[in-house]
């Protein structure tokens, strides 16, 4: 799960929790589903940020030094 999909899950959960009136979807507690989606999105966002920060690589370039020049 990447950062974008985590944000989408958080947004969908917030919409279900706060913007949609209860009872629109019969036999489903929309508020609980919204909170679950927001929690999963938050966990996914944290994991994505941790994974993104640990994938930094160092690239070293070696230029021509004095010993490397052909005369």
Domain boundaries, the chain: 3-54
Q: And the tokens for 55?
A: 């994938």
pLDDT of residue 66: 59
pLDDT of residue 9: 93
Q: What is the mean pLDDT of each run of 10 residues along the chain (71 residues)?
A: 89 92 85 94 93 72 60 59
Interatomic CA distance for residues 40 and 18, integer angstroms: 17
Q: What angle do CA 38, 40, 41 make, to 5 degrees?
A: 60
Question: Terminal CA-to-CA distance of the chain, rounded, Å?
Answer: 55
pTM for the model:
0.71
């Amino acid at each position: 799960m990447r950062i974008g999909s985590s944000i989408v899950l958080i947004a969908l959960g917030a919409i279900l929790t706060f913007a949609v009136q209860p009872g629109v979807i019969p036999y489903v507690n929309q508020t609980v589903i919204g909170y679950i989606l927001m929690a999963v999105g938050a966990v996914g966002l944290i994991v994505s940020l941790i994974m993104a920060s640990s994938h930094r690589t160092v690239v070293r370039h070696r230029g021509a030094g004095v010993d490397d020049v052909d005369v």
